[in-house]
């Protein structure tokens, strides 16, 4: 049996961690300075905390999450 990636238990755990301040939130628009630097000629820009960079560069800088259990082992 496959386990659903989203469940009521996971939602409760998320809400509990959020109440304890353990969940990092995305920066609000007010947190980004109006004169923030930006790469030239980007079509889709993402805020990396210091400047707007291209989506490809931003995506490449994000850490990859590893599977804790092999996807093949979850089938069944």
pLDDT in tens, 15-57: 888 888 777 666 677 888 889 999 999 988 888 888 999 988 8
pLDDT digits (tens, 9 = 90+) for 3-14: 566 678 878 887
Give pTM, 2 decimals.
Answer: 0.49
**How distant is the alpha carbon of residue 66 from its chain centre?**
14
Cβ atoms of 18 and 11 closer than 8 Å: no
Q: Is the pLDDT of residue 64 over 80?
A: no
Question: Which has the closest alpha carbon to 58: 72, 70, 43, 47?
Answer: 47
Instruction: Give the Cα separation of 32 and 54 in Å (integer).
Output: 16
């Amino acid at each position: 049996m496959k386990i659903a990636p989203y469940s009521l238990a996971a939602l409760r755990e998320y809400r509990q961690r959020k109440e304890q301040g353990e969940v990092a939130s995305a920066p609000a628009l007010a947190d980004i300075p109006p004169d923030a630097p930006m790469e030239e000629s980007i079509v889709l820009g993402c805020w990396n905390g210091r400047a707007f960079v291209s989506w490809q560069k931003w995506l490449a800088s994000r850490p990859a999450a590893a599977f804790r259990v092999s996807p093949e082992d979850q089938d069944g």
